[in-house]
Amino acid sequence: MRYNFDVRAGPISVEWFRGATTNIAYNCLDRHVLAGRGDQTCFIWEGNDVGREKTMTYSEALDEVCRLANWLRAAGVKKGDCVAVYMPMLLELPLAMLACARIGAVHSVVFGGFSAESLAQRMEDCKSKVLLTASGVMRGPKSIDLKKIADKACKLSAEAGHTVEHVLVYENDNAVPAADCPFTPGRDRWWQAEVGAQPPTCAPEWVEAEHPLFLLYTSGSTGKPKGVLHTTGGYMVYAATTMRHVFGLQPGDVYWCTADCGWITGHSYLAYGPLLNGTTQVVFEGVPTHPTPARCWEVVAAHKVTQFYTAPTAIRSLMSFGDQWVSQCDTSSLRLLGSVGEPINPEAWRWYNEVVGRGKCPIVDTWWQTETGGHMITPLPGAWPEKPGSATLPFFGVRPVVLDDKGNELQGEAEGILAIAQPWPSTLRTVYGDHERYQSNYFGPFPGYYFTGDGCRRDADGYYWITGRVDDVINVSGHRIGTAEVESALVAHPACAEAAVVGYDHPIKGQGIYAYVTLMGGVEATKELKKELVGSVRSIIGAFAAPDVIHWAPGLPKTRSGKIMRRVLRKIAAKEEDQLGDTSTLADPGVVGTLVELRGK
Ligand code: WT7
């Protein structure tokens, strides 16, 4: 390993396994097939609709990946080129990621819930000329025309001067059959016909350990989303190792992670970690409450799932429907439960433990980030006692520190900012196209450390308790959303003069999105306008970023230098205006009273 983690000593750089070459798709598939495990089930796919199921062995997965890899090569994709992937949770999504990796191409998966604008922005940033997508997707009872959104994104990109040359469309006929799917001859191709015609073998491209593997865009406190870049060797070793130890893998296990491949969890603990370990896993297209809140437990019972990994928001949502949905199913195959994405409140932890796990399953509350690539602070099952709500202790080789706001390391029991003092194998290597931003964002705030953006408390036993983001990022249902992004989507509406967005406690989502909006002079504040403003955010970012509350704000609390005091806005949203703290720097203290009066209007 060679690295510089200190901006004062020159450019930040992290390198692992210098001089080594590998191919991660080979390690995920060929290695198992060559060892005689080709007939083992790789994927058990559960569609959105009950009864739509399929399984795929490691040999079959390898064939499919090779066919798609051949198609990508034929389409002119070369080592190092970026391929955009905008797909629902069909098996073709993880297979597409592996196909890119097989030929040394860099995948950029964009979550299917993102809007055309968001997809376009990401395709332009990483200059992907090839887009892999599907005709549509079912989400519970609703069908979504994914291809129409993809088409709009290509059009927006073209207007911005970037041409998407090839679009490969998977016909997901239960949602949108080919006949109902828009198709641009010349640019678009049907996946099933084209890929099916390719040969099922494809020589892997051996790449250097530091060859880029993927980009994944994530929100920060300012500006547009950052393309987090992960490279091959370190990421591969770390995903495989954490997967094996944190989930206590045993031969014969059936593992299920409910994350979408559009997020980092679906990269490290669905597409890569399980396959690197030769695991059999469930891939779920649907939503946990469709058609009933028993769906997850029915799937667990049907496939004898041994490890189940999900987000606290899903646990809270299922908990709210009552215990009977769990107890009517046989969940006795479960041996371990995992939680990821946001702090888990002790009440949800206990329900997960007692009702789902029948008090018999260790719970691994895994703290990590898109940027860290893999688990950082997490229980190791059976190795040390758990505490509900704590991610417990660092994984091997991870050196977390608690800093005060001047960057001094605090010792023993302490509360402050969580930072990491040395690189780990899957450290993000850069922000795509902007190494400067990488350095200033992650290494600038506290020189010598990687800044996580989270606050935390370390207790007397050395356990870490994540207290949430300390920057202007909110965590809604385990999805990271930059308040600045939501604000600019609101301001894009012609009626909106100014917007300020904060998070507030939400019983299911963890945090909800609370938006203060100042209207243009003469515009009337109506219910319809609220809907339009929410619609503006949906169409610019995606439905999951839609504000839960719009609060009319004739004025915003600002300091004399014009800076919005978000602390005050958070207190008003939480109905805690009696605990505003020091407001002496407010330019106009009267604003607070006006806002309190307008709450709920
Ligand atoms: C942020 C990272 C990690 C994959 C999914 C989210 C929060 C994540 C936990 C946890 C408390 C958590 C943090 C972190 N977070 N896991 N177990 N306990 N908080 O990845 O979108 O990059 O978000 O999610 O605030 O910084 P992400």
Q: What is the mean pLDDT of the chain?
A: 97
Instruction: With cut-offs at 50, 70 and 90, classify the pLDDT of residue 496.
Output: very high
**What is the mean predicted confidence (pLDDT) over 194-201?**
98
**Is the beta carbon of 264 within 6 A of some atom in ligand 1?**
yes
Residue nearest to atom 1 of ligand 1 (CA): 369
Residue 580 pLDDT greater than 90, yes or no? no
ipTM: 0.99
Radius of gyration, CA atoms only, the chain = 24
Mean pLDDT on 239-259 = 98
The CB of 268 under 6 Å from ligand 1? The reply is no
Residues 70-84 have a mean pLDDT of 98
Decide: 94 and 261 in contact? Cβ < 8 Å: yes
Q: What's the confidence (pLDDT) of residue 223?
A: 80
What ranges do the domains of the chain cover? Answer: 477-598
Average pLDDT over residues 253-267: 98
Task: Tell me whether residue 333 is exposed, middle or buried, using C-beta atoms within 10 angstroms of its C-beta: 0 to 12, 13 to 18, 19 or more.
Answer: middle
CA of 79 to the centre of ligand 1 (A): 31
Q: Is 491 exposed, middle or buried (0-12, 13-18, 19+ CB in 10 A)?
A: middle
Separation of CA 375 and ligand 1 centre (Å): 10
Please provide residue 444's backbone torsions phi and psi, each rounded to the nearest 5 degrees. Answer: -75, -45
Instruction: Tell me, yes or no, if 471 is annotated catalytic.
Output: yes
Whether 376 has a pLDDT exceeding 90, the answer reads yes
Whether 379 contacts 363, CB under 8 Å: yes
- Answer whether residue 463 shows pLDDT above 90: yes
b/e per residue, 362-379, with b = 16+ CB within 10 A? bbbbbbbbbbbbbbbbbb
Q: Which two tokens stand for residue 132?
A: 């892999």
Query: Is the C-beta atom of 260 inside 6 A of ligand 1?
Result: no
Catalytic residue among 49, 173, 434, 471: 471
Does residue 585 have a pLDDT over 90? Answer: no
Per-residue pLDDT, averaged over 135-151, amounts to 97
Q: Token pair of 263, please?
A: 């997020």
pLDDT for 221 beyond 90 = no
pLDDT at 1 over 90: no
Architecture of the domain made up of 477-598: 2-Layer Sandwich (3.30)
Pick the residue whose CA is nearest to atom 7 on ligand 1. 342
Atom 13 of ligand 1 has which residue's CA nearest to it? Answer: 342
Confidence check: pLDDT of 243 > 90: yes
Name the closest-CA residue to atom 19, ligand 1: 342
Q: Is the CB of 340 under 6 A from ligand 1?
A: yes
Is the backbone peptide bond immediately before 291 cis, with ω within 30 degrees of 0? yes
228 lines ligand 1 (CB under 6 A): no
pLDDT at residue 464, rounded to an integer: 98
Q: What pLDDT is stored for residue 222 in this prediction? A: 81
The Cβ of residue 196 has, within 10 Å, a number of other Cβ atoms equal to: 12
Q: What is the mean pLDDT of residues 256-262?
A: 98
Q: CA-CA distance, 133 to 111, in Å (whole number)?
A: 11
Among 376, 336, 368, 158, which residue's Cα sits nearest to residue 253?
Answer: 336
Measured in Å, residue 117 CA sits from the centre of ligand 1 at 25
Please give the Cα distance from 459 to 414 (Å, whole number). 7
442 lines ligand 1 (CB under 6 A): no
d(CA 260, CA 30) in angstroms, rounded, equals: 24
Average pLDDT over residues 115-129: 97
| pLDDT at residue 582, rounded to an integer | 84
